[in-house]
Amino acid sequence: MRYISTRDGVLRVSAQDAIVRGLAEDGGLYTPEVLPNFTAHAFESMRDMAYQQRAVFVMNAFLDDFAAGELSSFAEKAYGTDKFDSPAIAPLRRVTDGVSCLELWHGPTSAFKDMALQMLPHLLSASLVKTGEERSVLILVATSGDTGKAALEGFRDVDGTAILVFYPKDGVSRVQELQMVTQEGKNVGVCSVRGNFDDAQTGVKAIFSDVSLRKTLSKRGWFLSSANSINWGRVLPQIVYYVSAYCDLLNQGTLVPGEKFNVCVPTGNFGNILSAYYAKSMGVPIGRLVCASNRNDVLTDFINTGVYDRNRPFYNTLSPSMDILVSSNLERLLYGLSEGGAEEVREYMSSLAETGRYEVDETVKKKISRLFWAGSCDDALTRETIAAVWKEHGYLIDPHTAVAFHVFKQYRKETGDTAPGLVVSTASPFKFCDSVLPAIGVSPVSSGTDLIGELSAAAGIAPPKNLAALGSKPVRFTGVTEKDGMTREVLKMLER
Ligand SMILES: *Cc1c(COP(=O)(O)O)cnc(C)c1O
């Protein structure tokens, strides 16, 4: 299978090239030229498989030049029970008769980013070998939270790779900072930057466009890459859990083969829900794709009107991983739906770059409203939903998941559609103790990592091991740099 840039109808590359390059040279995103189609028989055979085998089955359909044995070894490493605290890897939790929750936070950092970032490093490392690249890759990440830690865990001790994460000194929570500065592994580095997230991000972008630095690195056998969510190697592993969830819904008797179910996804950069769209296109009988946003509701408006307009205020909310104004992965959906192909997408994207806005044509609008439904949920409703789900079902959820629960309820009420629902849960509530505790009626008396124990006591639930151990892990990284000093940190890292 070949991959094509969303902004160029001609350029075709192999899967390994798409994964090594990340972004296409024309600024587009690599997307499969055609999607595989799974028959009822394929789903039947996957029902008895473990998650790791389902991952091999699905990924194998997209990665021609990777042997099944190779993919099996990646899946064993990425989704081992030493990394995940549930043998099901992405287990379902039945909340009511008609609604199940897909828990994507049983990995090493307790957030859904692990599902993809545990797999990407293996795909990347093997792709480097396949493309004949002899240099090693240095992954640079600027993070405001979950991605940095998940990328560190994914790349730690993976051959041919090293990773350096920059975070804003005063822009992440104490728990998030501790998660990063206690990171283990021989090939990892973490450094804080004086300033906010934008400073860290601008610094990383400047490093990427520093031609002389690239030359220096290349002489020493290194080149730079990023692990951000537009890489095909991050989207693909996310398709797996939708296929897997369908198999599990069949196995638990919630669905009969071919029966439709609706999926509701708490959405930021549009990567997760895009994967659900691909799964649907491949034959998973998903009815509606329900897109849940917080107060930053640019996607809600887009899906309801066909107008994408980023010219609006930015809000910091209780669900920070969804605080976003430009959802990069939406470009892949536009490519999939537009009749004008790459040329049409290029026009939308240049309009977005120039004016911050674009409007899709009638055909795309119609397709979007058949496939998707969208709603949003503010902080007050987020708290209410955490409280209600806890009280009514004894199920503790994080603020991102709460946004999805609320919007799914809205969807059912407004459409009357009572088909079985799958609500996607993207983080452990223990990652967001400071908002979950008050929501369930407890005024926190402690701070930092002590909140984890407090939530555990209040709810009577054990916290994930990685979070419980945080307070006692040795700090390995204490570096602070000015924005101007980030290049030096890169060079220092490679001298170690
Ligand atoms: C990244 C993230 C999201 C948003 O996912 P997208 O793929 O960017 O839409 C939602 N919830 C949590 C907890 C996340 O970390």
Summarize pLDDT for 112-170 with one digit per residue, the tens. 999 999 999 999 999 999 999 999 999 999 887 789 999 999 999 998 999 999 999 88
Closest C-alpha among 28, 31, 49, 96 to residue 336: 31
Statement: residue 348 has pLDDT above 80: yes
Q: Which CATH architecture has domain 89-111+233-432?
A: 3-Layer(aba) Sandwich (3.40)
Terminal Cα distance for the chain, rounded:
40
- The pLDDT score that the predictor gives to residue 431 is 93
Ligand 1 centroid distance, CA of 322 (Å): 6
Pocket of ligand 1 (CB under 6 A): 111-113, 146, 229, 266-272, 321-322, 400, 426-427
Nearest atom in ligand 1 to 401's CA:
11
Closest C-alpha among 149, 110, 116 to residue 426: 110
Domain residue extents for the chain:
89-111+233-432
> Do the Cβ atoms of 387 and 441 come closer than 8 Å?
yes
Ligand 1 centroid distance, CA of 428 (Å): 12
Neighbours of 484 (CB within 10 A): 9
Cα–Cα distance for residue pair 165/148, rounded to 1 Å: 6
Mean pLDDT, the chain, whole residue set: 94
pLDDT digits (tens, 9 = 90+) for 251-285: 999 999 999 999 999 999 999 999 999 999 999 99
Statement: residue 200 has pLDDT above 80: yes
If you average pLDDT over residues 322-346, what whole number do you get? 93
Told to judge if 186 belongs to the known catalytic residues of this protein, a careful annotator would answer no
Ligand 1 centroid distance, CA of 319 (Å): 9
Query: Residue 282 is encoded by which pair of tokens?
Result: 């491949």
Nearest atom in ligand 1 to 146's CA:
15
Please tell me the residue having the least CA distance from ligand 1 atom 2. Answer: 321
- The pLDDT score that the predictor gives to residue 17 is 94
Active-site position among 113, 149, 365, 409:
113
Please tell me the residue having the least CA distance from ligand 1 atom 8. Answer: 269
Statement: residue 395 has pLDDT above 80: yes
Place of tokens 């994408």: 308
Residues in contact with 90: Cβ distance below 8 Å, sequence separation at least 6, in sequence order: 51, 102, 103, 104, 106, 115, 241, 244, 245
- The pLDDT score that the predictor gives to residue 111 is 93
pTM of the predicted model, to two decimals?
0.95
Residue type, 76: E
Ligand 1 centroid distance, CA of 12 (Å): 29
Residue 444 exposure: Cα atoms within 13 Å on the Cβ side:
19
Query: Residue 68 is encoded by which pair of tokens?
Result: 């099944």
Cα–Cα distance for residue pair 271/148, rounded to 1 Å: 17
Residue 451 exposure: Cα atoms within 13 Å on the Cβ side:
19
